[in-house]
Structure 1
Amino acid sequence: MEIVKHRSMDPFFILLLILLTAPSLPLADLDSERAALLALRSSVAGRTLFWNATNQTPCNWAGVQCQDHHVVELHLPGVALSGQIPTGIFSNLTHLRTLSLRFNALTGSLPSDLASCVNLRNLYLQRNLLSGQIPLFLFNLPDLVRLNMGFNNFSGPISTSFNNFTRLKTLYLENNRLSGSIPELTRLTLDQFNVSNNVLNGSVPVKLQTFPQDSFLGNSLCGPPLSLCPGTDTNDSSPFTTDGGNTSKKKNNLSGGAIAGIVIGSVVFLLLLVFLFIFLCRKKSSKTTSAVDVAAVKHSESDVPRDKSIPDMENGNGYASSTAAAAAAVVAVNKVEANGNGNTAGGAKKLIFFGNAPRAFDLEDLLRASAEVLGKGTFGTAYKAVLESGPVVAVKRLKDVTINEKEFREKIEAVGAVDHQSLVPLRAYYFSRDEKLLVYDYMSMGSLSALLHGNKGAGRTPLNWEMRSSIALGAAQGIEFLHSQGPNVSHGNIKSSNILLTKSYEAKVSDFGLAQLVGPSSTPNRVAGYRAPEVTDPRKVSQKADVYSFGVLLLELLTGKAPTHALLNEEGVDLPRWVQSVVREEWTSEVFDLELLRYQNVEEEMVQLLQLAVDCAAQYPDKRPSMSDVVRSIEELRRSSLKDEQDQIQHDNNDIEL
């Protein structure tokens, strides 16, 4: 009887057992995933993987995202991971959909258990030191949409098994050591593709010929979009090649007399060219003139050779290197004015200074100064002028001024009257019919744009969090002061090349008030990355539009990316949209400049400044804060950052005492 009774209770006990254990099954899975993440951390280190091992759930760890009690995304970009990833970690992370390990120092080959992550959609491995052939097990992940393995040491051929990735949209394999030919990837429908700087040879497959040349450069490839492959005859339909192999025979049918005639004709033609050249030179040298043609000077300025390693100011890189031709151009322009060509009925023109400061130099001193080109900006070309008496000034030569002299003087005198520690002061100006010059204090450290996007080598000055937040605050204070001058007063051209820096890296805003002096055609499309969507006329920029431009500037400061780049990332969108998409779809640290990722004690402040930048760059003007609100927010987060730093120092000192 007992046995029967016991058996009759079996279903009840089984059901009870299921009910009691079912809730713990997801937690058990999460425990295994947590253990796998901790094993990954212990294997490859990482200066920013400060995961709290006592926390039972990894879903609150930085870079980890969960869904339905499983880790589905792991974002660890630029966190100094090093060494080889061991096998046995990803077999416990089988629900991963996104894995980002880019910008680290991982070595060796990929672990074979990565094939267990069958749900993987996005795999970002670029800029590591991974090596070996592209493993075959990788092709067991047919749902991949984005695959970036660029800037590693992968070798061997590109397998035809890439055709397994029927959903793949992005394939980046550039800057590796891949060899052989590119296979026919007929089953793929790619939006983005790059295999440049490998050891590939052969012809570009027909289906990939729609991608630009940059996708294939640095190899031994041929065919569209590159040059034609050797042996390809573009004149197959020509009557000279219709008789099979007799082409060479036809070429040899020329008689000796015909050849001699061709040679004699060529010599006569060359002699005629020489005589014509001598005649033109003598005619030109016989002409004399008592004055320099301003138009010719402007033409020579446009032909100044530039150091291509340092882009011009409009591209955001501030002060460029000097050239003798450019120096001669500006001196020649000044001589035009000094010789009287720029005079009007009022007599000889001169520099007009602002304020009551002593006149340390005059126009004569300026034209005798040695000059070098700083760069070409939205409103004209800027020069560095070193005066014989010692001072160094920056001279901006305006272009496309559309207003008359009276209106120009009224507007420029209003600019000269503005005085604030975060603004580059306008010291003097010069006006004539043909030339308009502005004289500013010279900022020796150049522009923020040059510091962010210029030298990337060993001599680069890294911008830490303290410097960047200080620059952001200084620029914001300068713009806030401009806005305080009246509801209709705005800057109109806020961008990183107009944020100049002193020797102590204090930010000063330049080029304010100049948008009112020139025509709308003077603002090129290249500054559209900073321009608010509602702005149609660059001369009519509201204060809210200034806030938008400043928001883009903040994003540039935080990400290290210039908004004027054609492609900022794999999605190829503008800077505000790119940041918003990454924050929405991935972990926020993906957007930060690598130089900022080492400062983990200020992560919260960095995220706060990023959120402020996104608010400033809101699509609709009424959603944007005022510059006063922006200044207060930056001041608060800088105070918070300073307090955290002091607390950390005190904590370290206490540890030392103990």
Structure 2
Amino acid sequence: MSSNIPRFIRDAAVLCLLMFLAVFQQPCSLAPVDVDGLYPGERSDLLKLRDSSNSSSNLHRRWTGPPCIGDESRWVGVGCSNSHVVQLVLDGIQLRGSLPENFLQSVTFLTRLSLQNNSISGALPALSGLLHLEDVSLSQNGFSGSIPSEYVKLPKLTKLELQGNVLTGGVLPFNQQTLVFFNVSSNHLAGPIPDTQVLRYFPKSSFDHNPGLCGIPVGLPCPAPPPIITPPPPPSPSTVSPPQPIPTPKRERSHRVRNIVLIAASAALVPFFIMAFFLCYYKKAVRKNEETKEQHAGGSVDFTQTRTLHSHSGDDPERVVELEFFDKEAVVFDLDDLLRASAEILGKGNLGTTYKAVLELGSVVSVKRLMNMNGLSKKEFVQQMQLLGNLKHENLMEIISFYYSKEEKLVIYEFVPDGNLFDLLHGFRGGGRVPLDWAARISIIKDIAKGLNFLHQFLSSQRVPHANLKSSNVLIHRDGPNYRAKLIDFGFWPLLPNRKLSEVLSVGKTPEFLQLKKMTHKADIYCFGIVILEIVTGKIPGKISPANDETFDDLSDWVRMVVNNDWSTEILDTEISGDKDGQDEMLKLTEIALECTDEMAEKRPKIGEVLRRIEEIEQRNANVRMVREQIHLYTVLALRQCVAPSPMAIADPMRSNPIHQPTRVPTSSIRDIGPIGPKNAH
């Protein structure tokens, strides 16, 4: 058969094949792929853990194939990003055995390692080279040996929990400025705690139940090192003393008695010396504490409705050494309780990192660790926090407390358990996903508008009251079938030390800032319009390239292009486009969103007007739905009466069902209702 093919065609085919191999062979060698995943080194390291331990989760059965495909994890306890393993969380699965040596050396993108509440023994993992690691939680196991020196070299370490093991040796000189949560309590550590800038601020509870530890954090002075005793020089021949007479038994006995008396007296005096030393130390600490309280009481900010709880004092008058509470009914806890709480990273934003902190009494709070604000004075920070902390609204995250020092600024919020709007809209959309229906979405839009309207009323003196409105800063609380939205990250724009940092906030993407570096009240309106479009279209704001066609830098530009051609349902999220009753609302809200995202700031509506229009749309359609439900109810009851007729029931079918007496609605609402029955019926 091949003999019938002209030779020049065969030669051309061979040449093309060789060129193909020459072009594509090198790139393939740069990104090795095997049947078990893109990064076989990561898989191999994790299999070392699987094969060297036993657990109640049966990892041998559940860890097969590749651990990651894109951002999707295929293995229990493994988190993925771009096909890399970034989290390993195997808490409380009865892991037994010791960890293989260097079992994570190839998992270089790991950010979180949590193996808490297991029965792992042997040495702690070295973790060398894991430069992205932020969270190391290895508490409540049987780890022994010393803390590896590599831990002080982890540049992004935020949390280190090693409590409840049998570790020996000393505490290392941790000094990473990123370190917020630290606990080595209930081990067998000994020696002085290094006096680093970071360790000195952790409470005593972080080091408790290590009887051999001493230093400032535990309030125990470290014993002075014994004096170095040098042996006397050997006597020279010229100074050799004459031979002494041999002592008699009587003289030897008297010497022994005298020595015993001296030893007993010394032993009796030692406790008195120790007691005197601790009395002096205690008096000095009390005096220092009182001085610090006086310094704090003399501050320039007067809290009329705040309560303070004392924590550790310091010599810096700029340092707020207490948590400041705004609500007298708030759950009482202090800085020690907060630092002792178990913590979990909820997310990272352009203003800092947010943690979920579970206090020992079971209360849960959110803690935001602010960044880029180290140059801020205490007066500026406290005044703004006092202003924000006194804002109370059902659609704003409540600020419970805050903490200030030159190096650290924390804001403590109430905890909202059901995640944020961004994750609800754009999270995993595979099998088992419960989509966010239109009724929930319009309720969330109205809640955002109500919260933003409140901010614009009570922070009207500030140029941009919110300044960072986006879907990830809208937290969601589920109340039965209802969704409630709360805004977070509002009011921090005045605290930014450099106005250039506005670029990282949501208002930095408004046309007036991009073109003129200008900030206005209407910047928040623009951001709200983008959030509405995100809710309606289901698309992530940013570069959009529908059908591989023209690329749009802004979600509103793409929507304008579509609706200019035809106001169709093309723009709607596929998860809600099938809701025929809600399509009219969706398109009307899209129209409002496009007005909010007008390039000319002065043409955008005020938030009060936007809220009024949203409420009108929701109310009008609620009336329509209610009338339709009533007509449906009348129809069903009438049909039932036809089957078993009753003169009284036929006269008024609703009397037979007094529980479902309908609410009367204006007859004007009925004009929005389509005809009942088939369209062709006459």
Which TM-score applies when normalising by structure 1? 0.50
Which of the pair has the greater relative contact order for Cα pairs under 8 Å at 6+ separation?
1
Which TM-score applies when normalising by structure 2? 0.48
Choose 1 or 2 for highest CA Rg: 2
